[in-house]
Structure 1
Amino acid sequence: MKKIIALAAIAALSTVAQADGFYIGGDVGKSRISDEGLKFKGTSYALFGGYNFSDNVAVELGYRNLGKDTITIRNVPFTLKGNALQVSAVLSAPLGSDFSVFGRLGVNRLEGKLTFPGGAEKETLTRALIGFGARYAISKEFGLRAEFQKAASDTQVFTFGADYRF
C-alpha cells in the first residue's frame, strides 16, 4: 500500500513539474502582532504555491505560521500563537532581466490563540492581505525574494524566501 501511495505522489508531482507557469516556495522572517496594546514578536515561516498567468500576473495560495511569543505583565505570562491561510493576486513588474518588484492583494484567514494562566482565547478572522516585495532570478527556475506583508491591521510580516518555477 505504501508503494502505491508513493507512486501516486511521484506521478502527481511529475505532472505538476511539466506544467508551465506553476511555482512553489517558502520563506522565513519576523512577524509583529499588536493585540490590545500588547506587542508580540515571532519567527514566521510560510509554504506557498502559485500559477503565473503571464510575466506580470499570478495567483498564489499559502500557509503562514506567524510564530509564537510570550510576554509577562505583572508576573502573568501571556502567550500568543498565530497562523494564516492566504490567497492573493500577485502583480509583478520587471526592472531588468533578473530583477522584479511585485505587489500582492488578497485575503487571509487568520487564527490566533492567546493563552494565560487559567485560560485561553482563540479567534479566527478573515482579513485583507496586502504586500510588496522584490525577486531576484538566480536562474530561469530558481529565485530569491524579500517581502513585507500586512496580514491584518495589527499584523505585519517581513520575510526572505525562495521559489522554484516549473
Structure 2
Amino acid sequence: MTLHKKLIAGIGFSLLCMHAAYAQNSSGVYVGVGVGSSSVSSHAVDSDNDPSLNVDVGYRFNQNFSAEIFARSLSFRLFDDLAGDSSYYPDSHVGVAVLGTIPLGNDFSLYGRLGVGRTEMKSGRKSKKDYNETDPSLGLGVRYALSPAWSINLEATRFTKTKVNTYLLGVQYDF
C-alpha cells in the first residue's frame, strides 16, 4: 500500500472514529426552539390551527434519556372579549418532561415525550376569571442531527386534560 493510500485510509478511519465518538458522547445541556400549530379537540372550544411557539432547555443524560423544561404558546386569540365568547381556551403551557430516544441510524432518532405542566386557560369573557389546569402530556417525534451540535426535529404532542394537539418543527443546539 502506498503512502498516499495509507494517509487516505488513516483519515477515513479517524473520521469514522470521530463520528462514533459523537454518537457515544451525547450528554449535556441543550436548548431548542420551534414553530408550528396547535388545535383543540374539545366540543367547548373552537380552535383550529392556531400558531404555536416552543422553547425548551434540557439535559441529555445519555443518547437514550433526557429531561427538559419547556414552554409552548397554544393560542393567539386576542379579541375574544369583543365577540363575547363564553368558553375557556388554552393559551400557554409550561412544563417538565422526560424524553426517551431510540437511534434509528447515525443521524436519525425517534423519541417519545412524557410530561406534566400547567396549561393557562383564558376566559373568553371579562366576567369569568382565567384559571390554570395541571395537564399531562404525551408526544412523539423524529430528530435529524445536522452536526454534532445542531439538529432539527418534528414533533406531535397531546396535552391530555385540555385536549390540545401541537405539531412543531424545531431546531436544537447541544452545548
Of 97-106 and 79-88, more deviation after overlay is shown by 79-88
Matches within 5 A, 1:1-166: 21-41=28-48, 42-69=50-77, 76-78=83-85, 80=89, 82-116=91-125, 119-153=127-161, 154-166=163-175
Identity %: 28
List alignment gaps of at least 5 residues for structure 2.
Answer: 1-26
Conservation of the 8 A alpha-carbon contact between 2:45 and 2:89: no
Does the 8 A contact of 1:108 with 1:151 survive in 2? no
Q: d(CA) in 2 for partners of 1:36 and 1:121?
A: 20
Paired amino acid for 1:21: G
Q: How many angstroms apart in 1 are the aligned matches of 2:39 and 2:54?
A: 15
Distance 1:146 1:40 in 2: 22
Q: Please state how far the C-alpha of 1:119 moved relative to its aligned partner.
A: 3.0
**What SS is found at the alignment partner of 1:163?**
strand
Q: Please say if residues 69 and 81 of structure 1, whose CA atoms lie closer than 8 Å, have aligned partners that are also in contact.
A: no
CA shift digits 1:95-135 (9 cap, x unpaired): 0100000000110110010223x534412011211100000
Larger fraction in strand: 1
Q: CA deviation at 1:58?
A: 0.1
Residue pair 1:31, 1:157 contacting (<8 A) in 2 also: yes
Give the AA of the match of 1:94: P
Given that residues 40 and 71 in structure 1 are in contact (C-alpha distance below 8 angstroms), is that contact kept between their aligned partners in structure 2? no
Amino acid aligned to 1:150: R
> Which structure features the higher share of helix residues?
2
Distance 1:140 1:128 in 2: 31
Residue 77 of structure 1: how far off its partner (Å): 4.5
* 1:35-54 C-alpha deviation (Å, 9 max, x unpaired): 44332131110110100000
8 A Cα contact 1:110 1:126, kept in partner? yes
TM-score, normalisation: structure 2: 0.74
Relative distance call for 1:36 and 1:71 in structure 2 (3 A) is farther
Amino acid at match of 1:62: F
What displacement does 1:147 show? 0.3
* Cα offset, 1:85, TM superposition: 0.7
TM-score, normalization by structure 1? 0.78
The answer for unaligned runs of 5 or more in structure 1 is: 1-19
- Does the residue aligned with 2:58 lie in a helix, a strand or coil? strand
Partner of 2:76: helix, strand, or coil?
Answer: strand
